[in-house]
A and B are shown apart, each in its own frame.
Chain A
Amino acid sequence: MTTIALAGNPNSGKTTLFNELTGARQHVGNYPGVTVELKEGTFSHRGTPIHVVDLPGIYSITAYSLEEIVTRNYLVREKPEVVIDIIDASNIERHLYLMIQLLEMGVPLCGAMNMMDVASNRGITIHPERLSELLGIPIMPTVARTGKGVEELLDAALSVKDNPPPQPLRLNYGQDIDRALDRMEDRIKGHAMLEDRYDPRWFSLKYLEQDEQIKEYCAKQAPEVAKAFDEAYQQLLRHLESTLNTYPEALIADQRYGYIKSLVSHGIVNYATNQSKLYISDKIDLVLTNRFLGPLFMVVILMLLYKVTFTYSEIPVGWFESFFGWMGSTAEKFLPEGPLRSMIVSGVIDGMGGVMGFVPLILFMFFGISFLEDSGYLARMAFMLDRVFRVFGLHGSSVMPFIISGGIAGGCAVPGVMASRTIKSRKERLATILTVPIMNCGAKLPIFAILVGTFFSQARGEMLLIITFISWIGALGTAKFLRMTVIRGETTPFVMELPPYRIPTLKGLFIHTWERTWQYIKKAGTVILGISILVWAMMTYPLLSPEKEALFETERQEILATYALPDSSRALNYEIPTKELTPEEEKLRKDLFALEGLRAETALENSVAGRIGKGIEKITRWAGFDWRTNIALVGGVAAKEVIVSTLGTAYSLGETDPEAPDSLSKVLKRSKEWSPLKAFSVILFVIFYAPCFVTLVCIAKEAGSWKWALFALLFNTFLAFLLSLGVFQLGTLLNLGI
């Protein structure tokens, strides 16, 4: 098996080539401790089995971004037999910058001069064979979108493998730097720890570029060498500052670009037309990023994405729901009543249903996002909105996760957190991941609807608008707070490319969409299943004592005896609609239903969740929450939809259908424990408190550690409680809403 790694700038067509080579036979590789994904796949070329790895897109080989570190570590540690560097022919100078650095590393390299069609449309003639001669490596023309030239590229790549390993490229960096490099190289030779892993010249060069990773490695392996190198660097720095008013890093980059300029001027590129003329892509930008039209189009595009995903995903979501509903009732039919049945129906099947219910949503959402990303529009959105998001310590690219999570009410934080992957700056990404769950997802809406409908019925629309505002301000404000405290630090430079607009390939769209969805199913499916069983157990155990159960049974028999109907089975058969019952039967059903509700309430109160709810009532009552509300909110951590149904159970209503919450609304209205002030306090709490478990699992995955999921759980709940407490106490003081 020959291993080929694909390297290149973002937007070079690298992923398109990877998809072309592997098709669906690809997966995310397992490299421990790496949060940036390395995709890999296998295929065979003219009988040779090939293992191909798609390295993250990078512009340079420094140690600043995670992508660069991952790429570099892969190249140094895994030593792939061939590296294919993909160059965009229509943008050759900047792409050569990476190639030069790969050559300096001395990796076995083969070049793919990609997007030859785009270049020739722009009147640019490229001669890859001349570049190939000058650099001494094969460089093949390709059009990855259509697969043109790919066979020849692979032939060339395999020939690289058979040649002796190449000598690292040595650029002339000017007398001062070259002399320093010579001395440093001599110093490294004979130092096994340094020499084995890195090429000495390259190691020295990186040291002069003040590469953190290299410096750290050197200080650890050979402290005395590091000391000498630091001195050499300081000396060089002083010298360059006084003579040329520059510093080593800058001079090295200048020289690389100087070398590229001389390469390109050797008849590699011919421009037929004036290069400053507007291409189609630029013309589209005149409209789509226009000061006035741009934001307008953005709103329209976002609304469209939203409408399409949430409207059309409802249909398959419905299928999933009916399927799991059917599974539940089938299980009920075939399993004997008891804890096993209860666990399978309420724990396993409901839990799985909850997880799988998100699948169509993620599928649709990521198809839309992949389209926007691959077409180049996502970068424009970041460009237009960066000014706003930067105020809160975020990045322009944060807009997508925010919108998806519920920027327009009814989103979902699960795809929202997953979409944060498009943010390349680490701190900004983390702040986004942690704050998007504050947005109003679709599952929070039923509880808002009930409370607003019950206590603020005159100002329904206004209240929902206020809730949306609170969540936006709350999420952005929290982001700002986090960036000033826990995730403190310099703003990551924006410096972002606006790639030309391209029509995404269907193959790419399908692969990206499926990949995200499958990851979700795998990860969430296993963890959530366990958690939903745990939550079920918390709300079920300990069971009511046999004496209590006996009491309920006695009462039941008494009711049945009071009515003394000849055939009471009709009243007990819920498949017969109420309309078809006699008045007597209807009353019996109502009484039995009320008794069953009371039993469920008592059972819930007796369960672990109920005890927790009661136990924390002493504290939560300061924010206005009684134990019933507490249980519902605890249940809401499993999934926000559960809040309404649990509240129903806690108020002896049996399972309340979130779609038809009339009875719950009436109970709340009558209850002395509830007031508009308490309702508002609860609404505020629901906006801010812990994300649901599915979201927490996604946070752990995207942030790279369970630590952050735990942080979201505790911090958000604490924050929410503080806000509710403040509002409730202030409101009580001012005598509001009582």
Chain B
Amino acid sequence: MPIIAMRNMKDNQKGIIRAIRAQGELGRRIRDMGLVPGTEIYIQGRAPLYDPVALRLRGFTLTLRNSEADHIDVEVDEL
């Protein structure tokens, strides 16, 4: 199954996180919020200006900027 950057996911698309490539503070914040490899996520929507993105995981909603979502690789069913 294809692996894409989270930025490129469509609204309402599901996926499983495969890799977090961010280091330092950003990497740690992302992981602290429960975004670790193997986590199922779902794109809930985007802000009016298409950035940041809101996603759902582990029963809560998290928002990330697209530039931050770039560091997250997600395995999706279809492109």
Residues of A within 8 A of B (CB): 59-60, 62, 64, 90-94, 97, 209, 247, 249-250, 253-254, 257, 275-276, 282, 285, 289, 291-292, 294-295, 383-388, 390, 396, 490, 492-500
- Minimal beta-carbon separation of A72 from chain B (angstroms): 14
Q: A249-B27, A295-B48, A498-B54 are in contact. Are A386 and B37 (CB under 8 A)?
A: no
Find out whether the CB atom of B61 lies under 8 angstroms from the CB atom of A62: no
Q: Compute how far the CA of A209 lies from the CA of B46 in the bound complex, rounded to whole angstroms.
A: 32
- Contacts of B63 on A, CB cut-off 8 Å? 383, 494-498
Query: Can you identify 13 A-B contacts, CB atoms within 8 angstroms?
Result: A59-B32, A62-B32, A249-B28, A254-B36, A276-B42, A291-B48, A386-B51, A387-B51, A493-B30, A495-B62, A495-B64, A496-B63, A499-B60
Find out whether the CB atom of B62 lies under 8 angstroms from the CB atom of A493: no
B44 within 8 A of A: yes
Chain B, residue nearest A293 (CB): B48
Find out whether the CB atom of B31 lies under 8 angstroms from the CB atom of A498: no
- Contacts of B29 on A, CB cut-off 8 Å? 59, 64, 493, 495
Q: Which one of B39, B52, B60 lies within 8 Å of A494 (CB-CB)? A: B52
With A386-B52, A495-B33, A500-B61 known, 10 other A-B pairs at CB within 8 A are A59-B33, A64-B28, A94-B34, A94-B58, A285-B61, A387-B49, A493-B30, A494-B65, A498-B54, A498-B60
Q: Compute how far the CA of A209 lies from the CA of B24 in the bound complex, rounded to whole angstroms.
A: 10
- Contacts of A396 on B, CB cut-off 8 Å? 52
Annotate B2-23 by CB proximity to A: 1 below 8 A, 0 otherwise. 0000000000000000001001
- Contacts of B52 on A, CB cut-off 8 Å? 383, 386-387, 396, 494, 496
- Minimal beta-carbon separation of B51 from chain A (angstroms): 5
- Contacts of B56 on A, CB cut-off 8 Å? 276
- Minimal beta-carbon separation of A206 from chain B (angstroms): 12
Q: Compute how far the CA of A94 lies from the CA of B51 in the bound complex, rounded to whole angstroms.
A: 24
Find out whether the CB atom of B48 lies under 8 angstroms from the CB atom of A94: no
Closest 3 CB pairs of A and B: A60-B32, A253-B31, A387-B49
B26 within 8 A of A: yes
B47 within 8 A of A: yes
Q: Compute how far the CA of A322 lies from the CA of B74 in the bound complex, rounded to whole angstroms.
A: 65
B68 within 8 A of A: yes
Q: Which one of A94, A249, A250, A295 lies within 8 Å of B60 (CB-CB)? A: A94
Find out whether the CB atom of A497 lies under 8 angstroms from the CB atom of B60: yes
Find out whether the CB atom of A289 lies under 8 angstroms from the CB atom of B54: yes
Find out whether the CB atom of A64 lies under 8 angstroms from the CB atom of B25: yes
Q: A250-B27, A295-B48 are in contact. Are A97 and B61 (CB under 8 A)?
A: no
Q: A94-B58, A94-B60, A498-B54 are in contact. Are A383 and B32 (CB under 8 A)?
A: no
- Contacts of B51 on A, CB cut-off 8 Å? 386-387
- Minimal beta-carbon separation of B32 from chain A (angstroms): 4
- Minimal beta-carbon separation of A29 from chain B (angstroms): 26
Q: A275-B59, A388-B49 are in contact. Are A495 and B54 (CB under 8 A)?
A: no
Q: Compute how far the CA of A492 lies from the CA of B67 in the bound complex, rounded to whole angstroms.
A: 12
Find out whether the CB atom of B65 lies under 8 angstroms from the CB atom of A257: no
- Minimal beta-carbon separation of A48 from chain B (angstroms): 35
Q: A289-B47, A386-B47, A498-B63 are in contact. Are A97 and B54 (CB under 8 A)?
A: no
Chain B, residue nearest A255 (CB): B36
- Contacts of A494 on B, CB cut-off 8 Å? 52, 63-65, 68
- Contacts of A497 on B, CB cut-off 8 Å? 33, 60-63
How many chain B residues sit at the interface, stated as a range, is: 35 or more
Residues of B within 8 A of A (CB): 20, 23, 25-34, 36-37, 39, 42, 44-52, 54, 56, 58-65, 68
- Contacts of A385 on B, CB cut-off 8 Å? 47
Q: Compute how far the CA of A385 lies from the CA of B25 in the bound complex, rounded to whole angstroms.
A: 23
Q: Compute how far the CA of A490 lies from the CA of B24 in the bound complex, rounded to whole angstroms.
A: 12
Find out whether the CB atom of B48 lies under 8 angstroms from the CB atom of A495: no
- Minimal beta-carbon separation of B4 from chain A (angstroms): 19
Find out whether the CB atom of B47 lies under 8 angstroms from the CB atom of A495: no
- Minimal beta-carbon separation of B62 from chain A (angstroms): 6
Chain B, residue nearest A119 (CB): B59
Q: Which one of A62, A253, A500 lies within 8 Å of B36 (CB-CB)? A: A253
Find out whether the CB atom of B60 lies under 8 angstroms from the CB atom of A91: yes
- Contacts of A247 on B, CB cut-off 8 Å? 23
Find out whether the CB atom of B20 lies under 8 angstroms from the CB atom of A250: yes
- Minimal beta-carbon separation of B2 from chain A (angstroms): 19
- Minimal beta-carbon separation of A135 from chain B (angstroms): 19
- Minimal beta-carbon separation of A604 from chain B (angstroms): 52
- Contacts of A97 on B, CB cut-off 8 Å? 32, 34
Chain B, residue nearest A253 (CB): B31
Find out whether the CB atom of B34 lies under 8 angstroms from the CB atom of A93: yes
- Contacts of A59 on B, CB cut-off 8 Å? 29, 32-33
- Minimal beta-carbon separation of B78 from chain A (angstroms): 18
- Minimal beta-carbon separation of B48 from chain A (angstroms): 5
- Minimal beta-carbon separation of B5 from chain A (angstroms): 16
- Minimal beta-carbon separation of A537 from chain B (angstroms): 49
- Contacts of B50 on A, CB cut-off 8 Å? 387
- Contacts of A492 on B, CB cut-off 8 Å? 25
Q: Point out which of B33, B37, B47, B49 has the most chain A C-beta atoms below 10 A from its C-beta.
A: B47
Chain B, residue nearest A61 (CB): B32
- Minimal beta-carbon separation of B36 from chain A (angstroms): 5
- Minimal beta-carbon separation of A255 from chain B (angstroms): 9
Find out whether the CB atom of B65 lies under 8 angstroms from the CB atom of A386: yes
- Minimal beta-carbon separation of A461 from chain B (angstroms): 29
Chain A, residue nearest B20 (CB): A250
- Minimal beta-carbon separation of A566 from chain B (angstroms): 77
- Contacts of A64 on B, CB cut-off 8 Å? 25, 28-29
Q: Compute how far the CA of A90 lies from the CA of B60 in the bound complex, rounded to whole angstroms.
A: 9
- Contacts of A257 on B, CB cut-off 8 Å? 34, 36, 39
- Minimal beta-carbon separation of B49 from chain A (angstroms): 4
Q: Which one of B23, B30, B33, B46 lies within 8 Å of A94 (CB-CB)? A: B33
Q: Compute how far the CA of A281 lies from the CA of B34 in the bound complex, rounded to whole angstroms.
A: 21
- Contacts of B32 on A, CB cut-off 8 Å? 59-60, 62, 97, 253
Q: Compute how far the CA of A397 lies from the CA of B54 in the bound complex, rounded to whole angstroms.
A: 16
Q: Point out which of A97, A247, A253, A292 has the most chain B C-beta atoms below 10 A from its C-beta.
A: A253
- Minimal beta-carbon separation of A333 from chain B (angstroms): 60
- Contacts of B58 on A, CB cut-off 8 Å? 91, 93-94
- Contacts of B46 on A, CB cut-off 8 Å? 291
- Minimal beta-carbon separation of A492 from chain B (angstroms): 8
Q: Compute how far the CA of A253 lies from the CA of B28 in the bound complex, rounded to whole angstroms.
A: 8
Q: Compute how far the CA of A499 lies from the CA of B61 in the bound complex, rounded to whole angstroms.
A: 7
Q: Compute how far the CA of A533 lies from the CA of B68 in the bound complex, rounded to whole angstroms.
A: 52
Q: Compute how far the CA of A253 lies from the CA of B61 in the bound complex, rounded to whole angstroms.
A: 20
Q: Compute how far the CA of A8 lies from the CA of B56 in the bound complex, rounded to whole angstroms.
A: 21
- Contacts of B60 on A, CB cut-off 8 Å? 91, 94, 497-500
Q: Compute how far the CA of A498 lies from the CA of B54 in the bound complex, rounded to whole angstroms.
A: 8
- Minimal beta-carbon separation of B17 from chain A (angstroms): 11
- Contacts of A249 on B, CB cut-off 8 Å? 23, 27-28, 31
- Contacts of B64 on A, CB cut-off 8 Å? 494-495
- Minimal beta-carbon separation of A723 from chain B (angstroms): 30
Q: Compute how far the CA of A109 lies from the CA of B20 in the bound complex, rounded to whole angstroms.
A: 32
Q: Compute how far the CA of A165 lies from the CA of B67 in the bound complex, rounded to whole angstroms.
A: 45
Q: Compute how far the CA of A98 lies from the CA of B48 in the bound complex, rounded to whole angstroms.
A: 33
Q: Compute how far the CA of A90 lies from the CA of B58 in the bound complex, rounded to whole angstroms.
A: 9
- Minimal beta-carbon separation of B58 from chain A (angstroms): 5
Find out whether the CB atom of B47 lies under 8 angstroms from the CB atom of A493: no
Q: A289-B54, A498-B62 are in contact. Are A387 and B47 (CB under 8 A)?
A: yes
